[in-house]
Amino acid sequence: MSTLAESHNPGGHSVTEAARNRRFGPMYSRNVKAVIARGLMATKSSNWMVMLSGFFEPVLYLISMGVGLGAIVGAVQGPGGQEISYAAYIAPALLAVSAMNGAVYDSTWNVFFKMNFAKLYQGMLYTSLGPLDVAMGEIFLALLRGLLYATGFTAVMGIMGLITTPWAILMIPASVLIAFGFASFGMGITSFMKTFQQMDWINFVMLPMFLFSATFYPLSVYPQYIQWLIQAMPLWHGVELLRQISVGIFSPATAIHVGYYLVMIVLGVMLTAGRLRKLFLK
């Protein structure tokens, strides 16, 4: 009935022996690709509606607000002071929002669910994977999704005639940078979360950030102190960065926006790595 009896030779198989003799640290076994492969395999059975809605949401915003509202608003002032259509004004902002949403969803709700309900990470960590392999694999998957959304959205912008410069192609890597910032931070923050109520705080921060980060109108409508508050938030930097790239007009502020995300990524990864032992190894 079983063929295992003949071929099973504990510890004797050269391939398993080789796998055992690899060098590992306590946190990391240089096997992020196994986590990524699992994630890709799981997308086959994943909820395509959720995946697609993540792509269509900003597209619908762009059509309704950009085309609909844009008919009333007319042309507005772009980053360099030039006149651009309202749709062209909000499109890069919506791209930044979708990068944020995708990354936050993957790194918070998804991670929270897999951690506390699906027990996926418990299973992974009973293998020779280390916590860092798992974290990096999950962040990579979040970025991959962000990359697909960004590419799709940029294509839609092109079809709608909102792209006027070759620089606009750089919106794609810039979106991944934004997603990386939010994903690494989001995962670190999720490690503190114990209940669904606490997870709701994330929405409580995200929604106002979406509405007020100069997404639909310029920052100048606010009093000075509100402006400072918004400029301290990550999304505003993402919106401004993509808006500048979309028209190919850069300023010293561009470097500040990019720098903001680089710092966010470094701090986020450090926070996550620091929390991992606590998160996984009780």
Partner 1 sequence: MWVPELVSNEELSSKPSRSKTQGDQMQYVITAKDLTKTYGDVTAVDGISFSVPAGEAFGLLGPNGAGKSTTMKMIGGVSQRTSGSLSIMGLDPESHGPEVRAHLGVVPQQDNLDEELKVRDNLLVYGRYFGLPMSYLRPKADELLEFAQLTDKAKSKVDALSGGMKRRLTIARSLINEPRILLLDEPTTGLDPQARHILWDRLFRLKEQGVTLILTTHYMDEAEQLCDRLIVVDKGRIMAEGSPASLIREYSTREVLELRFGSERNATIGAELEGIGERLETLPDRVLIYAHDGEAALEQVSARGLRPVTSLVRRSSLEDVFLRLTGRSLVD
Contacting range for partner 1; rule: CB under 8 A; set: 35-43, 203-211, 223-231, 255-263: 35-43
> Could you tell me if 105 and 99 are in contact, meaning their C-beta atoms sit under 8 angstroms apart?
no
Contacting range for partner 1; rule: CB under 8 A; set: 75-83, 125-133, 218-226, 267-275: 125-133
Structure tokens at 247: 């028209």
Contacting range for partner 1; rule: CB under 8 A; set: 88-96, 113-121, 193-201, 243-251: 113-121
CB of 279 to partner 1, least distance (A): 12
Place of tokens 């509405």: 211
Which residue, 2 or 197, has its beta carbon nearer to partner 1? 2
Chain center to CA of 28: 22
Question: What burial letters (b/e) apply to 92-110, b meaning 16+ CB within 10 Å?
Answer: bbbbbbbbbbbbbbbbbbb
Which residue, 7 or 220, has its beta carbon nearer to partner 1? 7
Position 111 contacts partner 1 (CB under 8 A): no
Pick one of 64, 122, 165, 203: the residue that binds partner 1 (CB under 8 A).
122
DSSP state of 83: E
User: How many residues make contact with partner 1 (CB under 8 A)?
Assistant: 48
Find the helix or strand (DSSP H, E) in which 76 lies. Answer: strand 75-77
Question: What burial letters (b/e) apply to 149-188, b meaning 16+ CB within 10 Å?
Answer: bbbbbbebbeebebbeeeebebbbebbbbbbbbbbbbbbb
Q: Amino acid letter at 31?
A: N
Position 49 contacts partner 1 (CB under 8 A): no
Position 46 contacts partner 1 (CB under 8 A): yes
CB of 113 to partner 1, least distance (A): 11
The number of C-alpha atoms within 13 Å of 207 and in the hemisphere containing its C-beta is: 5
**Contact residues for partner 1 (CB under 8 A)?**
1-5, 7-13, 15-16, 19-20, 22-26, 28-29, 31, 33-35, 37-38, 41-42, 45-46, 118-120, 122-130, 280-282
